Amino acid sequence: MKNLCVYCGAQPGHHQVYSQVVAQVGNFMAQRNIRLIYGGAKVGLMGVLADAVLQAGGRVTGVIPDFLLQTEIGHNQINELIIVRSMHERKTRMFEMADAFLALPGGIGTCEALFEILTWAQLGLHHKPIGLLNVNNYFDKLLEFFDTIAKEGLCKPECRRLLLHDNNIEALYEKMLTYTPITVQKLMKDRSRT
């Protein structure tokens, strides 16, 4: 795992623990020579993450749409800032560069990116590990929701295993390194049953 795409908030959140853990993740990545691929902003948790990677001597590539350069304030001190035309192009470029994906606390955009990358895995468009760091129990309800989707029969139980999660970055990293992809045939089997 040399290139990790991280989704996280353009806002800092109300609890300092989010910034603290995000900074720890950045330091962790730099120590392991893992390049950060992220949304390119210098504000919120995205900025905390990028700054932490840089301060620890790591490499950072940001991808930001031109219309968000002012709103999210593009980070002009990272190693590489790629400016694209749309959100779709942003996510596609990040996907192409990444060996794995990690979700940290964030808002609707973070959740949307996580759901999309999970959907692509379910469809067999990629077999890259997807992790979720459950900082301060932020994602508890989301994880419960994923369990409900499987329990209600609206996705195969195996789909639930596409999302690796932990509240400790080292434990989650190990899960991601040892991830075994689930075959699409297993996930898609029996779709026509009513």
Is 102 domain-assigned? yes
Which CATH number fits the domain that encloses residue 163?
3.40.50.450
Q: What DSSP state is assigned to residue 56?
A: T
Is 78 domain-assigned? yes
Percent share of the chain, pLDDT over 90: 85
Mean pLDDT over each residue of the chain, to the nearest integer: 93
Q: What is the pLDDT of residues 134-151, one digit of tens each?
A: 999 999 999 999 999 999
Q: Is the pLDDT of residue 115 over 50?
A: yes
In this structure, are residues 134 and 165 in contact, taking their beta carbons and an 8 Å threshold? yes
Per-residue tokens: 148: 């409900």
Of 45-59, 118-132, 141-155, 174-188, least confident by mean pLDDT is: 174-188
Is 103 domain-assigned? yes
Is 194 domain-assigned? no
Q: Angle at CA 177, nearest 5°, toward 24 and 136?
A: 35
Is 80 domain-assigned? yes
Domain membership of residue 51 as a residue range: 3-188
Is 69 domain-assigned? yes
Is 48 domain-assigned? yes
Is 193 domain-assigned? no
Is the whole model's pTM more than 0.85, yes or no?
A: yes
Q: Is the pLDDT of residue 194 over 50?
A: no
Cα(115)–Cα(66) distance, integer angstroms: 24
What's the total number of domains in the chain? 1
